[in-house]
Amino acid sequence: MTKNILVTGGAGFIGSNFINYILPKRDDIKIVNLDKLTYAGNLNNLAPVFQNKNYTFVKGDICNTELVDYIFRKYSINYVINFAAESHVDRSILGSEIFFKTNVLGTNILLETSKRYEVEKFIQISTDEVYGSLGPSGKFTENTPLAPNSPYSSSKASADLMALSFHHTYGLPVVVTRCSNNYGPLQFPEKLIPLMIINSMNNKKLPVYGDGLNVRDWIYVLDHNKAVEIVLDSGAPGEVYNIGADQEMKNIEIVNLILKALGKDESLIEYVKDRPGHDRRYAIDSTKTQTELGWKPDYVFEEAIVSTINWYKENQAWWETIISGEYLDYYKKQYKS
């Protein structure tokens, strides 16, 4: 049976990697990619599938009820993967309204429409940030109470809980994934890893927040997307699946590793004012996803970070257009400057 999948936010980092990964290898899948093309969306990311007969792009907003309804009807959508979001914590600190519009209201519109059209599965791409911050030990499991700390993570937690409530109340076959920090090609250079790579290459300062000892649990984007594929095929309705690769790193360790790989000096590091409300540590326990769905991460951080750095070296044209535009205005406005 063909799966007619509405992928939202498919022109962003993880969504475009997902479409480029899954479409060429599956002939039982048709994808309609609905993306508003915000500052973070980039159609060039999808060059590998432009000609694919099973790929359709629609420019639009998940908050547009009529458009979303039209897409479900026209393309007989029976699966939804909701990647669309405002995704950057720092931006949510500068202004939270769009985060609640897109992440909460937009998800609600997708859920209501999915209920009307009786979709077979709705995958809500949530995040480990909904769990809040950890001390030096322990890991987030699917049973850890949600305790989001930023406007971004609280909007994602709202969407996550609303999606689960649609399963509980209406029996909508919702599955929620909560993944840790992704890295890899096509990531918008406002996030730690691409920002540090590109600044190093340009001999610009590397702004490290606070003491640089905050910990994130890193996963290569393809490992995340392989998990999403397995959830699409086998995830059980009403369930939450944590996704992570057990690769905890302090921010400063990553910055030093990037500098070393690019042959640059540590003098580029600049410790700056901390992010307000900065979560100290994330670590994800993905035992349930591994045992119940048979997924496991394949990429080792030390190797995949090198190929990621090489990708940014080889794809200067991709990020040059980005950092010369709106991004620079945002960067100047950051609370830290």
| Contacting residues toward ligand NAD, per CB under 6 A | 8-9, 11-15, 34-38, 40-41, 61-63, 83-87, 102, 106, 125, 127, 156, 179, 181-182, 188
User: Which of these, 190, 174, 191, lies nearest to 182 by C-alpha position?
Assistant: 191
Of 3, 26, 88, 288, the one binding ligand DAU (CB under 6 A) is 88
Q: Of 117 and 131, which CB lies nearer to ligand NAD in the complex structure?
A: 131
CA distance linking residue 134 with residue 60, whole number of Å: 37
Of 38, 45, 87, 102, the one binding ligand DAU (CB under 6 A) is 87
Q: Is 1 exposed, middle or buried (0-12, 13-18, 19+ CB in 10 A)?
A: exposed
Verify whether residue 152 is a known catalytic residue.
yes
Q: Of 9 and 235, which CB lies nearer to ligand NAD in the complex structure?
A: 9
Q: Applying CB under 6 A, does 209 fall inside the site for ligand DAU?
A: yes
Q: Under 8 Å CB-to-CB from 128, ≥6 apart: which residues?
A: 140, 178, 179, 180, 181, 217, 242, 244, 282, 284
Contact 284, 242 (CB under 8 A): yes
Active-site hit among 35, 128, 160, 285: 128
Strands 181-183, 121-127: pairing is unpaired
251-261 and 192-201 are packed helices; what angle lies between their axes, rounded to 10 degrees? Answer: 30
Q: Of 167 and 281, which CB lies nearer to ligand DAU in the complex structure?
A: 281
Q: Applying CB under 6 A, does 101 fall inside the site for ligand DAU?
A: no
Contact 241, 227 (CB under 8 A): yes
308 binds, among ligand NAD, ligand DAU, none (CB under 5 to 8 A by kind): none
Q: How far is the CB of 50 from ligand DAU (least distance, A)?
A: 26
Query: Binding marks (x or -) toward ligand DAU, 119..148, rule CB under 6 A?
Result: --------xxx-------------------
CA distance linking residue 310 with residue 261, whole number of Å: 9
CA distances from residue 152 to 9, 139, 175, 288 in whole angstroms, order as listed? 16, 21, 20, 26
* Residues marked as catalytic: 128-129, 152
Binding residues for ligand DAU, per CB under 6 A?
87-89, 127-129, 180-181, 191-192, 195, 207-209, 214, 216, 251, 275, 282
